[in-house]
Amino acid sequence: MGVTTDGTAQGGLLAGKRLLVTGVLMESSIAFHVARVAQQQGATVVLSGFGRGLRITRTIARRLPQPAPVVELDVTSEEQLAGLPDAVREHVDGLDGVLHSIGFAPEAALGGNFLNTTWDDVATAVHVSAYSLKALTMAAKPLMPRGGSVVGLTFDAAVAWPKYDWMGVAKAAFESTARYLARDLGPEGFRVNLVAAGPLRTTAAKSIPGFEEFERVWSTRAPLGWALEDPEPAARTCCALLSDWMPATTAEIVHADGGVHAMGA
């Protein structure tokens, strides 16, 4: 396997793959590192952004090994979802994989306010953080006539976490959505999997009140150890799922968390 002057691999794990990566807002984000590793492994990457974050995504896109094009996509906008295929085709002729790295909950839905959160705030969290997996997958589907890999990022929703509240509920819905998508789209060649990463000091994490409580758990319970500022393990796991090396794996949640998920008290 050769390496080009920009550090990308010739014949890498993702050689020839065309990927749409959502959620790149900071260099610290897992999505940025998925895009970086994917390019280094031979993939062509298109990013998406929306609203006030679109300009930031375009700036961050220039910091990848190869500057990546950015399309506008608000996953709550039916108009923009419908326009995704045409927007992507301006840069590549189709897709082989999609990374869903999108999540949001209003402040009132986090931080220990679980019993008092209104439906409007809960509905926003579920729409953006769970239903959007189905919406994004179906929007990208015309670009993937032979199927492909859809990978999403979750934070293990099998248990109730301190202060995570309705985002935890939304992540549980997200995980269930992935299983139903895997069921319904498997016959068309789609694999739908999630990566449950341990806590990382990303932009998303900074918006979670009490995030330091997660840090304490991982600092003492990860048998492999856990680096709070290293998105590389999670990014590599996502890229493995986006590749052809796991052809019979779908409806799975792969943990990239240092082993915490399997440890008792």
208 is in an annotated binding site: no
Which ranges constitute the DSSP H helices of the chain? 30-40, 53-61, 78-82, 84-89, 119-126, 132-140, 165-185, 203-206, 211-221, 232-242
- pLDDT over threshold 60, residue 1: no
Nearest alpha-carbon partner for 27 in 203, 257, 240: 203
Give the CATH fold of the 18-256 domain: Rossmann fold (3.40.50)
Rounded Cα gap, residues 80 and 77, in angstroms: 5
149 is in an annotated binding site: no
Per-domain residue ranges for the chain? 18-256
Mean pLDDT (whole number) for 72-99:
98
What does the pLDDT read at residue 206?
A: 66
What does the pLDDT read at residue 5?
A: 54
75 is in an annotated binding site: yes
Percent of the chain past pLDDT 70, that is, above it, reads: 93
Encode pLDDT of 147-188 as tens digits.
Answer: 999 999 999 999 999 899 999 999 999 999 999 999 999 999
30 is in an annotated binding site: yes
Q: How far is CA 9 from CA 3, 69, 92, 115, 246, in A?
A: 5, 20, 19, 50, 20
17 is in an annotated binding site: no
23 is in an annotated binding site: yes
105 is in an annotated binding site: yes
What does the pLDDT read at residue 128?
A: 98
Instruction: Tell me the two tokens of residue 133.
Output: 């997996």
Nearest alpha-carbon partner for 96 in 183, 37, 33, 15: 15
Q: Which residue has the higher pLDDT, 7 or 50?
A: 50
56 is in an annotated binding site: no
pTM, to two decimals? 0.94
Encode pLDDT of 31-78 as tens digits.
Answer: 999 999 999 999 999 999 999 999 999 999 999 999 999 999 999 999
Burial of 205 (0-12, 13-18, 19+ CB in 10 A): middle
